[in-house]
Structure 1
Amino acid sequence: MSSYKLVALDMDGTLLDDNLKISARNKEKILRLVKEGIHVVLATARTFKAASYYAKELGLDIPIITYNGSLIKEVITGKVIYSKQIINSAAKEILTIGEKLNVYTKVYINDVLYVEGEAEEAVSFSQKHRISYKVIGKLSENINDDPYMIVFKDHKEKINKAIEYLNNSISLPISFTLSTLNSLEVMDKGVSKATALECLTNELGIDRNEVIAIGNSLNDYEMISWAGLGVAMKNSDKQLLDKWDIISQYDNNKDGISHVLDKYCLY
């Protein structure tokens, strides 16, 4: 019998292989845990629509954590457990910074991706993640709702400059993290996968020491730090591997998830 009651899994680079598939072995292991009463939660920067596709494939009826912790929503009922969005005035200020630096910017509002102009990146991303996108022109002028997340994706030098600007804008009520050195993700203040996971476990009456969290990117660092057992995937970004000691034996293309769960969950 396992002492763990909940497993939180990042998706891209963790649960999913490089072809964005869940392996048969990983799926079998997850379904076995669910059958034994262990909660399995997806915790991702993806939109709810993109994440729920995989949750439905697994047959999970638990809420999933999306937009890096900005939204927790039940797959079956659509019930919102937790929701924090960037207030519009702050969003416009962030978008103005992006425009000043000429950084490629994506805005996420209610499962729709908003971009300034047509770009191959938007087309391929929307197809890959099964979401729609809208071209609306200058974002700082035309975004009038509260986004769940704003993403700057560009050369590392531009991203570092954007971080510098955001750090100097101390009045902005935001949090931000890196998924890669080229991708900066901005959310409302206090939002992270860790804070969302804490909210969900409180809802379920589960202690943090009863949680396993597994991820592969810097945006997973707080989550694996918060959990009773945090594991970084073998294929994790170097910046995460440099910070973390417990590393999976196998990567995301070799059933890394199932091997970790075989080791720590006795089912």
Structure 2
Amino acid sequence: MFKLVAIDIDGTLIDDNFKVSKRTIDRIRDLRDRGVNITLATGRTYRSAKQYADILNIDDPIICYNGALVKDNSNGNIIYDARLPLDISKNIIGFGEKEKLDIKVYTDDTLYVEEDDERTREICKNHKIDYKVIGKLSENIEKGAQMIILIEDEERIREIRKKIDSMDIKNISYTMSTPRSLEFGAPGVNKGNALKVLADKYGIESKEILAIGNSLNDLGMFKYAGTGIAMKNSDRILLEEWDKVSKYDNNEEGVFHILDKYFD
């Protein structure tokens, strides 16, 4: 039996209306009562992820910012925290500004943006996070980021990804939670490495871990876990790398069906 389950949030645990189904809540609570460790592994901030952990009665640590932060939901203690240095953060932001991309910088549960707009307000409302407008980010950001996101349409992001790869920028890692975004973190940051931090804390072997997700940023934890299951609605870029796929999507209680399959 699995001793640890890692579940992505957006496109996986929650439906397109940001809700978790009652059957999924009940199943996860039941597993928690039976001693199974449950962690949420997400690109979201801690505060944003915590709202769902609390709904599910999860007091295990939460993996945030694609693995840059692991924070205990029972007491708020930080278990792991990896940040981009300020100079590297400014380099990435400066690149995004030069390419005229939408840039979002996340540090300590706050989103930093250049200017206020409806999309930022919508994100912060849905994710229940705070944001600060500070003008030109590369000039006004004052501390290293836990995550930097560059956003554009899918075709342009493919071009930007090729540029980043050809530049061979040191001291960063990057992944994608949607085909429209590049998400940068400190070297070695990914959900798989963060999951290993938790597994070591609990004395759990990788073969005893089940991971569930839907995007390329979940690939690291799929590779580390004994079993990794991609949702039916997974991004094409993930499905090019991973072939263990559920028959259900996030609007069909996919997480519930996966847990029902692997647990009595």
Question: Normalised by the size of structure 2, how large is the TM-score?
Answer: 0.97
Q: CA deviation at 1:171?
A: 4.5
CA distance in 1, matches of 2:169, 2:234: 33
Q: CA deviation at 1:86?
A: 0.6
- Give the structure 2 partner of residue 227 of structure 1: 225
The letter of the residue matching 1:52 is K
Q: Are the equivalent residues in 2 in contact too, given 1:97–1:165 (CA < 8 A)?
A: no
- Give the structure 2 partner of residue 134 of structure 1: 132
Q: Are the equivalent residues in 2 in contact too, given 1:69–1:196 (CA < 8 A)?
A: yes
Q: CA deviation at 1:119?
A: 1.6
3-state secondary structure, aligned to 2:105: strand
The letter of the residue matching 1:113 is L
Q: CA deviation at 1:258?
A: 1.2
1:53 aligns with 2:44: no
* Cα deviation 1:210-262 (Å, max 9, x = unaligned): 00000001111121121100000111112222332221121111111111111
- Give the structure 1 partner of residue 153 of structure 2: 155
Equivalences for residues 32-181 of structure 1 within 5 A:
32-181=30-179
* Cα deviation 1:159-188 (Å, max 9, x = unaligned): 234323432443430000111221110000
3-state secondary structure, aligned to 1:219: helix
Q: Are the equivalent residues in 2 in contact too, given 1:97–1:162 (CA < 8 A)?
A: no
Q: Are the equivalent residues in 1 in contact too, given 2:179–2:235 (CA < 8 A)?
A: no
3-state secondary structure, aligned to 1:92: helix
The letter of the residue matching 2:184 is V
Which structure 1 segments of 5+ residues have no match? none
- Give the structure 1 partner of residue 202 of structure 2: 204
Would you say how many aligned residue pairs link Structure 1 and Structure 2?
Answer: 264
CA distance in 2, matches of 1:89, 1:177: 20
The letter of the residue matching 2:51 is Y
Which structure 2 segments of 5+ residues have no match? none
3-state secondary structure, aligned to 1:105: strand
> C-alpha root-mean-square deviation of aligned residues, in Å?
1.1
CA distance in 2, matches of 1:250, 1:160: 28
3-state secondary structure, aligned to 1:14: helix
CA distance in 2, matches of 1:47, 1:242: 27
3-state secondary structure, aligned to 1:8: strand
- Give the structure 1 partner of residue 192 of structure 2: 194
- Give the structure 2 partner of residue 8 of structure 1: 6
